[in-house]
Structure 1
Amino acid sequence: MCICCGRSTPSTPFGVRCLNARQAHGRGKVHELCTIRARIAEPAPVGRAGGLTPDLPALPRSELTSRVTSSQRRILIVAILSSFVAFLDGSIINVALPAISRELGGGLALQQWVVDGYLLSLGALILVAGSLSDTFGRVRVLRVGLILFGLTSLACGFAPTGVFLVVARLLQGVAAALLVPSSLALITANFTGVPQGKAIGIWTGWTGVAGIAGPLLGGLLVDSYSWRLVFFINVIPIALTLVLLRRVAEPSRPADGARVDVIGAVLAVVGLGGPVFALIEQGRFGWGSPVVFLPLTIGLVAFAAFIWWEARAPHPMMPLGLFRVRNFAVGNLATVGIYAALNLGFFLFALYLQEVGGFSATLAGLAGIPATVMMLLFATLFGTLAGKYGPRLFMTVGPFVAGSGFLLLLTAVPPVDFWLHVLPGIVLVGLGLSITVAPLTSAVLGSIHPGQAGIGSAINNAVARVAGLVAIAMTGTIVGSALDVAGYQRAMVVVAALMFAGGIISWLGIRTVVARPDVAAPALGEAV
């Protein structure tokens, strides 16, 4: 989750953040929060062509010495806990999948649905979540999201069948779509100046803790007790957050002019759900079955209708005009390849280590942590370099390094030796992602006007989640009905190819543009 724009990453064991906010958004187009952090870091930065920030005025002394009140501290805790459970749930689930399928049956198809059910509703509705927050109030939407997330977590934990669990996960994704945007909006509405930058930095740090702790905690719970505790554990922070939220007032009245794109949201759910259902279930029914081709056809028609509607809607959830900006369009296309690879690779990696490699859930959770550590160590460095030299080179080299890491994981055949077969590849994947992610954010958000950064970030986030959703749905097509060594190796080749495709797209399409003076923000969706 980017500390300045709120862009979150897919639910993987190594959630990454744009740690170098000032440099990473480059091209002389800094967000308000980037500006705040830049003022803290450097009293007099100099604007330069090719990606660095413009001159920034010094902050008033009163702002530098402002203190956080007890009310603000309570709001920050609420925001951290609210988003923490969503990030924790996203990072904890993969290591629990083998235990879930052992108890509930369903095999690989159920494992796909448990992950994709959550991503489907989250990816389809995250664009409209901001409008809901503006329309009905941030605290109210956050409270509804917390209650729904708690109830659906209990439903997941008590699930008697696989179908029940998948339905609960779909509803849990709806709740998650309400949590993260509302929690970040709560911070920005109650903090200003330097305290705002610090608050968002603290909030981001705790989301990183969730990304690291999730796989390890999930493995310990699965091995020591039951996979059901992976969901029950959400109730504790949610209950505490709801108690604290009772003392938080609505920071501002809902925006009178806000509109919720209900038609767009419905078309997005159907347009994504139909193809995903077909991709997962074709292994059981075959492509010629009406159970498969009818949902596929309906979904494709609905997705086409979604594009048509978004081009004409008075208040679209996804302003298509932004895609007329070259770097924004190309950056999102590269995002498809990179995050499809990311989600598919780590989904199968966690399953393979347990089901074929013989790892415990705890060890499988630990196996992904080196990638997280690499990104925590190097993300800021490569964000800085991308700010100086532009994002193109890094968006090309990074995916090739990460793809090479996934190819190294081809050597992980039983008996699997972590130090020899797993660690080198995972470290290389983490290094590649460290090189890639901050420059990718820079290319996408730095290409549009700062006034459009919010919707631009939401679109890129949704693209990343949908890419992962479709990639995981294709697992059965790639590996077959059951995961084995041959299927795993085919999948790693596909993952590497997707990464390489993201790098090639970046090299061919991304351009470093000379910084220009800011102008008035155009209407949302207009080309810049």
Structure 2
Amino acid sequence: MQSYILYSVMITSFVGAFVGSGINVALPAIGQEFGAGAGDLSRVSSAFLFGSAIFALPFGKVADILGRKKIYRLGAVFFSITLIIGGFSQSVEFLSGVRFLQGALMAMVFGPGTAMLVSVYDQSMRGRILGYSTAAVYVGLTCGPVIGGLICYYIGWRWFFYLAGGLASIGLIFLYQVKEEWYGDRGASFDYKGSLLYMAMVPLILYGLSEMSKQAIGVYLLIAGIICMIIFVVQERRTAQPMLDVGLFVGNRAFSFSNLAALMHYAATFAVTFLMSLYLQVVCGLTAPEAGGVLLLQFIVMAMLSPKAGILSDRIAPGKVASVGMAINCICLFVLSTLNEDSSLFLVGGILMAVGVGYALFTSPNNNAIMGAIDNRFYGIASSLLATMRLIGQAVSMAIVTIVIDVNEVKSLSGADNDGLLVAMAIIYRIFAGICLLGIWASLARNRDGEKQI
């Protein structure tokens, strides 16, 4: 039974990451077929992120109430179906809607999948298993642009969705061998008020962050989102059976600071791939395949080391391992801020590999620290909260990039504004390094009273 769940979660995690990264390669062909502009195509890409972020916590709670396997299986089934439907899209608007649904359905998989894994494996193996799951994500991120590009080039972008849907369905074969069910809060009532506040809060914050550098309404939306967040916290504290028990954060340093560290880590590192892609192609003059080959170094290291980092966190306090990973990335970000048009590609490749080491040492152990800081009845909501931290951190990371590039008035990516682009990138990387410093503090702070291990 354990192996069936692991195989199913790894396959679904791979496909989710594969589709998320590979869609960017397919966008030019999609835009050409539908006559869509950059704005329309960006919505195709971001719709998945919005769908996942909006529904992550509500579905995590539903899974705890109705059964984690049941919700996971339902999400995986319809995720596979919507992938295939995406291949039949006849307009960019329809495809954006399907991508939003795919993100929402993956939210049904994120939390319950991790919760089932840590429920069926012994505590001594938790880091190892989470490492395998994380490695599957990184392999998906690595293969997405490469395999996706080949599929789009030789047989068309629609087959990217068809084949991904078929692969996702294989994970269901393993899941249907599992007969047991797991609950976190069986029979509890669902917190509709809290859920609605959360589902309003997240898109307001995410869209506000993405638009605040372009138009004033972005700032107002962000403020509205923060107000909704405050009301959400008040509502959850007053509710007898809340969607998110804010008491989890009170007196539990390991859980609180591990989630904060995750938010900061993704905010500081997510945009590195985007920035390095610009640097390698615009500043260094590499072709897209050449730049992709350099960027692959980071993801290969991440995929190779994540299981080993997970095993290490079973032997050493996971928060300490994660802190080392955060520190490595902090140093790497500062070094990246010193790059110029004459920097050696060997140096760039070496830094990206070091980022991969830091990423691997942080992610699996930090996930282990979070899941080890709570009772098993909270596994579903905790893993969904971790997914939310990741998604919001990613949005913050890209918002920082957009704001700094706009402030520095980088208008052209043809090479004419290379000086301005390098200045903007140096500022961004130093901001990211500063966030990483705060992340190191958060990561170390959880260890002051020891890490709770269940």
Is TM > 0.5 for Structure 1 vs Structure 2?
yes
Render the CA deviation track for 1:367-417: whole Å, top value 9, x for unaligned. 322113333555536748963994586266223223135325x4368xx98
CA distance in structure 1 between the partners assigned to 2:198 and 2:362 by the alignment: 28
Name whichever of 479-488 and 454-463 sits farther off. Answer: 479-488
Matched, 1:343 2:288: no
Judging changes above 3 Å, is the alpha-carbon distance between structure 1 residues 273 and 196 closer, same or farther for their aligned structure 2 residues?
Answer: closer
Is the 1:188–1:196 Cα contact (8 Å) retained in structure 2? Answer: yes
CA distance in structure 2 between the partners assigned to 1:155 and 1:300 by the alignment: 36
Render the CA deviation track for 1:133-190: whole Å, top value 9, x for unaligned. 2333444423431343234324544445444333322211101111233444555677
Instruction: Pick the aligned partner of 1:209 from 119, 123, 139.
Output: 139
Name whichever of 461-470 and 428-437 sits farther off. Answer: 428-437
Is the 2:206–2:392 Cα contact (8 Å) retained in structure 1? Answer: no
Is the 1:78–1:241 Cα contact (8 Å) retained in structure 2? Answer: yes
Is the 2:61–2:380 Cα contact (8 Å) retained in structure 1? Answer: no
Q: What corresponds to 2:194 in structure 1?
A: 264
CA distance in structure 1 between the partners assigned to 2:176 and 2:319 by the alignment: 48
Is the 2:117–2:129 Cα contact (8 Å) retained in structure 1? Answer: yes
Q: What corresponds to 2:324 in structure 1?
A: 394
Matched, 1:478 2:404: yes
One-letter amino acid of the structure 1 residue matched with residue 166 of structure 2: I
Q: What corresponds to 2:431 in structure 1?
A: 497
Judging changes above 3 Å, is the alpha-carbon distance between structure 1 residues 499 and 446 closer, same or farther for their aligned structure 2 residues?
Answer: farther
Q: What corresponds to 1:4 in structure 2?
A: none
Q: What corresponds to 2:387 in structure 1?
A: 461
> What are the within-5 Å matches in structure 2 for residues 427-442 of structure 1?
427-438=353-364, 440-441=366-367
What secondary structure does 2:263 align onto? helix
Matched, 1:169 2:96: no
> What are the within-5 Å matches in structure 2 for residues 217-366 of structure 1?
217-242=147-172, 249=179, 251=181, 256-281=186-211, 286-287=215-216, 292=218, 295-324=221-250, 325-350=252-277, 353=280, 362-366=289-293
CA distance in structure 1 between the partners assigned to 2:284 and 2:452 by the alignment: 56
Judging changes above 3 Å, is the alpha-carbon distance between structure 1 residues 120 and 216 closer, same or farther for their aligned structure 2 residues?
Answer: same
One-letter amino acid of the structure 2 residue matched with residue 88 of structure 1: F
Is the 2:371–2:379 Cα contact (8 Å) retained in structure 1? Answer: yes
Is the 1:126–1:458 Cα contact (8 Å) retained in structure 2? Answer: yes
Judging changes above 3 Å, is the alpha-carbon distance between structure 1 residues 247 and 333 closer, same or farther for their aligned structure 2 residues?
Answer: closer
CA distance in structure 2 between the partners assigned to 1:197 and 1:432 by the alignment: 16
Q: What corresponds to 1:5 in structure 2?
A: none
What secondary structure does 1:267 align onto? helix
Q: What corresponds to 2:447 in structure 1?
A: 512
Judging changes above 3 Å, is the alpha-carbon distance between structure 1 residues 493 and 327 closer, same or farther for their aligned structure 2 residues?
Answer: farther
Shift of residue 492, structure 1, vs aligned partner: 5.3
Q: What corresponds to 1:375 in structure 2?
A: 302
Is the 1:76–1:187 Cα contact (8 Å) retained in structure 2? Answer: yes
Judging changes above 3 Å, is the alpha-carbon distance between structure 1 residues 440 and 198 closer, same or farther for their aligned structure 2 residues?
Answer: closer
Is the 1:397–1:435 Cα contact (8 Å) retained in structure 2? Answer: no
Is the 1:404–1:428 Cα contact (8 Å) retained in structure 2? Answer: no
Q: What corresponds to 1:81 in structure 2?
A: 11
CA distance in structure 2 between the partners assigned to 1:256 and 1:389 by the alignment: 31
CA RMSD after TM alignment: 4.2
CA distance in structure 2 between the partners assigned to 1:452 and 1:385 by the alignment: 24
Is the 1:123–1:465 Cα contact (8 Å) retained in structure 2? Answer: yes
What secondary structure does 1:170 align onto? helix
Shift of residue 450, structure 1, vs aligned partner: 6.9
Shift of residue 343, structure 1, vs aligned partner: 1.8
Judging changes above 3 Å, is the alpha-carbon distance between structure 1 residues 280 and 342 closer, same or farther for their aligned structure 2 residues?
Answer: same
Q: What corresponds to 1:411 in structure 2?
A: 340
CA distance in structure 2 between the partners assigned to 1:253 and 1:433 by the alignment: 31
One-letter amino acid of the structure 1 residue matched with residue 49 of structure 2: L
Shift of residue 252, structure 1, vs aligned partner: 6.1
Is the 1:82–1:183 Cα contact (8 Å) retained in structure 2? Answer: no
CA distance in structure 1 between the partners assigned to 2:120 and 2:375 by the alignment: 24
CA distance in structure 2 between the partners assigned to 1:95 and 1:493 by the alignment: 28
Larger radius of gyration: 1
- Greater helix content: 2
Q: TM-score, normalised by structure 2?
A: 0.77
One-letter amino acid of the structure 2 residue matched with residue 513 of structure 1: R
Q: TM-score, normalised by structure 1?
A: 0.68
Shift of residue 238, structure 1, vs aligned partner: 3.1
Shift of residue 465, structure 1, vs aligned partner: 1.6
Is the 1:139–1:249 Cα contact (8 Å) retained in structure 2? Answer: no
Identical aligned residues as a percent: 25
Q: What corresponds to 1:54 in structure 2?
A: none
Q: What corresponds to 1:524 in structure 2?
A: none
Render the CA deviation track for 1:490-517: whole Å, top value 9, x for unaligned. 2453144223322245337625336599
Is the 1:401–1:431 Cα contact (8 Å) retained in structure 2? Answer: no
One-letter amino acid of the structure 2 residue matched with residue 124 of structure 1: I
CA distance in structure 1 between the partners assigned to 2:235 and 2:155 by the alignment: 48
Is the 1:131–1:258 Cα contact (8 Å) retained in structure 2? Answer: no
Judging changes above 3 Å, is the alpha-carbon distance between structure 1 residues 459 and 139 closer, same or farther for their aligned structure 2 residues?
Answer: closer
Shift of residue 468, structure 1, vs aligned partner: 0.7
Judging changes above 3 Å, is the alpha-carbon distance between structure 1 residues 113 and 344 closer, same or farther for their aligned structure 2 residues?
Answer: farther
Matched positions, count: 440
CA distance in structure 2 between the partners assigned to 1:423 and 1:451 by the alignment: 43
Gaps of 5+ in 1: 1-67, 522-528
Judging changes above 3 Å, is the alpha-carbon distance between structure 1 residues 376 and 190 closer, same or farther for their aligned structure 2 residues?
Answer: closer
